[in-house]
Amino acid sequence: MTKALIIGWLIELLGVAVWLYGYLSTGNPSIVDWPAIAPWWIADWLPNIQSEIGMTLMFAGMIPIYWPRYKVQNRAGQADVLAETITSVSNDPPIARRHGSVRPGPGSE
């Protein structure tokens, strides 16, 4: 496992612990008035500030877990993460990508 993956899981587990503590304890009032802006089933999951912080940590922990971990060399020889998505597009002309194929049909020669 990579370092980013381990850090992501640690943040995720810390978020679960903080959220569970906030969900099961009385705690402090929420930052956001969830019953006023969200359905009841969302408001029940975030009763206080501790549960909100825990949920935020859980979502933040997903970033390093699911962030792409590959690097591609660009023309200058520097690592470029986005180069894979740019170069993964087909080398066909744009019209071929838009319409599938530009091969002539039967009898059009």
For the stretch 84-100, pLDDT in tens is 454 444 454 555 555 55
Structure confidence at residue 83 (pLDDT): 47
The answer to whether residue 106 sits within a structural domain is no
Q: What is the mean pLDDT of the chain?
A: 78
**Which of the four pLDDT bands, split at 50, 70 and 90, describes residue 60?**
very high
pLDDT at 79 exceeding the cut of 60: no
105 is a domain residue: no
Q: How many domains does the chain have?
A: 2
Q: Which range of residues forms the domain containing residue 17?
A: 3-66
Q: Answer whether residue 108 is part of any domain.
A: no
pTM: 0.60
1 vs 62: which has the higher pLDDT: 62
What is the distance between the alpha carbons of residues 81 and 73, in angstroms, rounded to a whole number? 8
44 shares a domain with 84: no
Decide if 13 contacts 54 (C-beta within 8 A). Answer: no
